[in-house]
Amino acid sequence: MGLKEEYREARDWVDKHLHFNINRDVNLFEVTIRVLGGLLSIYHFSKDEMFLTKAIDLGDRLLPCFESDSGIPFSDINLFTRKAHAPKWSPDSSTSEVTTIQLEFRDLSSASGDPKYENAADKVSRHVHKLEKLDGLVPIFINANSGQFRSYATITLGARGDSYYEYLLKQWIQTGKAIDL
């Protein structure tokens, strides 16, 4: 594309200014798909280890989300303290959010050679797969502590529901059609 100068400027900014030791709560899903996914994408395109190093740092900071009693991740985490928790507005995580981060975590394990990221994300998929569903459909909220869907939660193919189904196919493709979810 010929954007060599723009790439150099962006790379230098990421190297010098993108740090994750900030005392701020972030959403696991949003940071995973946008920041972690972006770092992994540019790493694969550039083969520049700096991007992988940043991705590993971020992945390590996000992993405590998965340390709930059930293995279902809490939706929010403070990147500095690494304390994970439910969102302020609900005791639950969004089913769609916790089941659409597997691609990035699986890729981080592949790129880094460390299986801990994939193992944490895969545990979520396997747990959700075992839960009782209504005609194969899942409620839009799941509790990280109990690992159960909220009985009163809506079932929809719209917001907070659609991505769960989309990512079943994406995970199957990413794993060479080997994953059985």
Q: In this structure, are strands 25-27 and 93-94 parallel, antiparallel, or unpaired?
A: unpaired
What pLDDT, in 10s, does the model give residues 44-57?
Answer: 999 999 999 999 99
User: Does 180 fall in a domain?
Assistant: no
Q: Is-contact 113 120, C-beta < 8 A? A: no
Q: In this structure, are strands 84-85 and 76-78 parallel, antiparallel, or unpaired?
A: antiparallel
User: Does 140 fall in a domain?
Assistant: yes
Number of domains, the chain = 1
Domain that holds residue 94: 4-174
114: CATH: 1.50.10.10
Cα distance between residue 34 and residue 64, in whole Å: 19
Average pLDDT, the chain: 93
Q: Which two tokens stand for residue 87?
A: 């969102």
Cα distance between residue 16 and residue 26, in whole Å: 21
User: Does 49 fall in a domain?
Assistant: yes
Beta bridge partners of 142: 93, 149
Report the amino acid identity of residue 61. Answer: R
What pLDDT score does 177 carry? 78
- Per-residue pLDDT averaged across 161-170, rounded? 86
User: Does 44 fall in a domain?
Assistant: yes
Cα distance between residue 178 and residue 181, in whole Å: 9
pTM of the full structure: 0.92
User: Does 181 fall in a domain?
Assistant: no
